[in-house]
Amino acid sequence: MWIATGALVAFYLFIRVYEQIYGWRAGLDSFAPEFQTYWLTMLWTEIPLELVAGLGLTGYLWKTRTRDMSVLSTREELRRWVCLAQWLVVYGIAIYFGASFFTEQDATWHMTVIRDTDFTPSHIIEFYLSYPIYSILGVGSFFYAKTRLPYFSKGYSLAFLILTVGPFMIIPNVGLNEWGHTFWFMEELFVAPLHWGFVFFGWMTLAVFGVVAQILMNIKRLLGEDGVKAIID
């Protein structure tokens, strides 16, 4: 968890510094060659990398799944439950950067350029970098639970599905967003109805309630009656 958090924060710190420098130097005119060099290269690099990373991560988790859950010791299962919570914390931090920082950042970039492309520096970071990253981490945490924990291994937890698939759907919603901005009348109003699809999918993170409830139910079961009593007293 600490490694993933550190890596994520360091990476986004780098991105923030990069856009500070190259947003103003190369990101103002999308028809200029330096826009190709500094921004579109980033776009064409990040998309395949994310696809490979997402498929690789899920493939790895599936390949190394626990095939026989009945041999799991209580201690090992408890360790895995903590590990799942750590996955979710990293997912939460990635959601913060995607949905909060880089999303509201886009609002101010809209007030800086009259944009001449759908792929502005802010969009290249917001839609095609920070959203896929949290989506990958969400799918990763779902697969971790599915392949490592007996409770999640059979069937699908509805809350967990909503928690990971809902925010994921924000990415396809970018399609509606860009279509509307391109072909429909749209001023740069941030609260425009066209943006409400993002909001709707953002609500899905509330399904964390159900997932945490499921985690706590299981922790309570694993701690046993005496353990729970000892903690409460």
Partner 1 sequence: MTVTTLKARTTPYTGEKARLSRAYDYLILVLALFLFIGAFHLHVALTVGDWDFWIDWKDRQWWPLITPLMMITFPAAVQAVLWPNFRLPLGATLCISCLLIGTWIARFFAYHLWNFFPINEVLPATMLPSALVLDAVLMLTNSLTVTSIFGGMAFALLFYPSNWPIFAMFHVPVEYGGAQLTVADLFGFQYIRAGTPEYLRLIERGTLRTYGQYATPLSAFCSALLCTLMYPMWWWLGKAFATTKYVKNI
CA angle centred on 78, ends 77 and 80, rounded to 5°: 65
Alpha-carbon distance of 117 to 36, in angstroms, equals 12
Minimum CB separation from partner 1 for residue 220, in Å? 10
Give the DSSP H/E element, type plus range, for residue 223. Answer: helix 208-232
Minimum CB separation from partner 1 for residue 9, in Å? 11
Q: Which is nearer to partner 1, 93 or 119 (CB)?
A: 93
Number of residues forming the site for partner 1 (CB under 8 A): 68
Report the amino acid identity of residue 103.
T
Instruction: Tell me which of 6, 56, 190, 221 binds partner 1, using CB under 8 A.
Output: 190
CA angle centred on 5, ends 3 and 41, rounded to 5°: 100
Alpha-carbon distance of 148 to 46, in angstroms, equals 29
180 binds partner 1 (CB under 8 A): no
132 binds partner 1 (CB under 8 A): no
Q: Which is nearer to partner 1, 54 or 92 (CB)?
A: 92
Binding mask 157-176 for partner 1 (x = CB under 8 A): xxx-xx----x---------
Instruction: Tell me which of 129, 136, 137, 207 binds partner 1, using CB under 8 A.
Output: 207
Distant-in-sequence, close-in-space partners of 220: CB < 8 Å, separation ≥ 6? 228
Stretch that binds partner 1, among 35-43, 54-62, 64-72, 197-205 (CB under 8 A): 197-205
As to burial, measured by CB atoms within 10 angstroms (0-12 exposed, 13-18 middle, 19+ buried), residue 230 is exposed
Q: Are 122 and 107 in contact (CB under 8 A)?
A: no
The CA R_g of the chain, rounded to the nearest whole Å, is 21
Residue list 5-34, contact with partner 1 (CB under 8 A) = 16, 19-20, 23
Minimum CB separation from partner 1 for residue 91, in Å? 8
Binding mask 31-70 for partner 1 (x = CB under 8 A): ----------------------------------------
114 binds partner 1 (CB under 8 A): yes
Instruction: Tell me which of 99, 125, 136, 137 binds partner 1, using CB under 8 A.
Output: 99
What phi and psi values does residue 31 have, to the nearest 5 degrees?
-90, -5
Q: Are 115 and 151 in contact (CB under 8 A)?
A: no
Give the DSSP H/E element, type plus range, for residue 191. Answer: none
Binding residues for partner 1, rule: CB under 8 A, are 16, 19-20, 23, 78, 82, 85-86, 88-89, 91-93, 95-101, 103-105, 107-114, 155-159, 161-162, 167, 187-191, 195-196, 198-199, 202-203, 205-210, 212-217, 219, 223, 227, 230-231, 233
